[in-house]
């Protein structure tokens, strides 16, 4: 047994549910989906699902955390500017395969603007981690940057988030290509 102590089984099941929920939202899309709908597709009743996640917001936040984990946003980035950048664009490209997740992310991001919202902390921390990674990648350059690295990081994050909105509105937008071109402009030497 790899896991011991209380909750070990509950945690495992929770993870399993999370994985399925993630798949469902990614594939079948998210249109302001209710707990009810997700519960059905996951094979539980609404109450059964809320048994593992105390509330709707916690469920959705957990789904996004799981996604970050799968996207390696929580682990160390690849070494070298080129590799880090490729991985970054890769994540953007894969987002275009999961509109439901992108929509969930965007929707929750706006709602979490309220400091009282349960996902407020998640988005604040995630932003910091992401921008920290970008700053780290920039630091590997030999040339100094024209703008303060933290400012560049904010701009890069904004580009990705903003392009998601444009893409959700019009799926013909090529998020990955646009991001790549933009990064090329920022750091042509890579």
Partner DNA sequence: GTCTATAGAATGATAGAC
Partner DNA sequence: GTCTATCATTCTATAGAC
Positions that interact with DNA (CB under 7 A) = 9-10, 13, 32, 34-36, 43-48, 50-52, 54-57
Tokens of 17: 């549910």
Which is nearer to its own copies, 49 or 138 (by Cβ)?
138
- Residue 34 interaction partner, one of DNA, its own copies, none, beta carbon < 5-8 Å per kind: DNA
**Burial (0-12, 13-18, 19+ Cβ within 10 Å), 95:** buried
- Residue 117 interaction partner, one of its own copies, DNA, none, beta carbon < 5-8 Å per kind: none
Rounded to 5 degrees, what angle do the CA atoms 38, 64, 153 make?
155
Closest CA to 130 of 181, 178, 87, 186: 87
Q: Which residue pairs from 112-116 have beta carbons closer than 8 angstroms and sit at least 24 positions apart in sequence?
A: none
Binder among 158, 172, 189, 190 for its own copies (CB under 8 A): 158
Which is nearer to its own copies, 81 or 99 (by Cβ)?
99
Binder among 40, 161, 187, 190 for its own copies (CB under 8 A): 161
Does position 129 bind its own copies by CB under 8 A?
no
What 3-state class would DSSP assign to 58? helix
């Amino acid at each position: 047994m790899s896991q011991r102590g209380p909750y070990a089984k509950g945690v495992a099941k929770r993870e399993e549910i999370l994985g399925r929920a993630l798949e469902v939202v990614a594939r079948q899309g998210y249109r302001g989906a209710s707990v009810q709908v997700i519960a059905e597709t996951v094979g539980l009743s609404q109450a059964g699902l809320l048994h593992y996640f105390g509330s709707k917001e916690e469920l959705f936040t957990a789904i996004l955390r799981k996604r970050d984990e799968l996207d390696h946003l929580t682990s160390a980035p690849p070494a070298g500017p080129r590799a880090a950048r490729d991985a970054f664009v890769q994540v953007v490209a894969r987002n275009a395969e999961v509109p439901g997740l992108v929509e969930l992310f965007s929707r929750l991001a706006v709602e979490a603007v309220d400091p009282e919202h349960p996902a407020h902390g998640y988005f604040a921390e995630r932003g910091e981690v992401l921008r920290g990674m970008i700053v780290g990648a920039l630091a590997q350059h030999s040339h100094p940057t024209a703008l303060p690295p933290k400012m560049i990081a904010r701009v890069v994050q904004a580009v990705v988030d903003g392009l998601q909105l444009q893409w959700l509105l019009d799926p013909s937008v090529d998020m990955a290509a646009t991001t790549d071109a933009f990064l090329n402009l920022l750091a042509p030497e890579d």
